[in-house]
Amino acid sequence: MTVLYIDADACPVKAEAEKVATRHRVAMKLVSNGGLRLSQNPLVEVVIVDDGPDVADMWIAERCGPGDVVVTGDIPLAAKCIEAGARVLRHNGERFTQANIGQQLAMRDLMADLRAANPLGIQGGGKGFTKADRSRFLDSLEREMRAAKT
């Protein structure tokens, strides 16, 4: 049975994911270390894990598997979930796969090194989350849910 796992800390698409999970009648687990509102939806379970680095990530990685869908922006978590056989999406709808996760991990490490060195004194900040990202996420999640259920 398919489960939709959401790495819920700072996830901008929780409501959209809930709509898709409801339409597909799939259990959804919002995993966080706190600060989430409970949903009245019987398909949605809010899972509060202990504080600590990567505790929510470990909880998801230990439970997901083939036929499940995971939504996360965390690249190391995505790698673990792919290894477990789950389908994995970013919040903007981009799909993590066996074919691209190695490159994603390498780029993440490179960017972390560059930020740490900060040779130009530049302050960082990612690009904003757009309506196009939200729309792309909904379309991608719909496709992944259909694929996961087959």
Pairing of strands 3-7, 27-32: parallel
**112-135 residue pLDDT tens:** 666 667 666 666 556 788 999 999
pTM to 2 decimals? Answer: 0.86
* Residues 71, 13 contacting (CB under 8 angstroms): yes
Residue 138 pLDDT level (bands cut at 50, 70, 90): very high
Q: What is the pLDDT of residues 20-74, one digit of tens each?
A: 999 999 999 999 998 888 889 999 999 999 988 889 999 999 999 999 999 999 9
Given a cut of 90, is residue 98 above it in pLDDT? no
- Cα separation, 1 vs 48, whole angstroms: 22
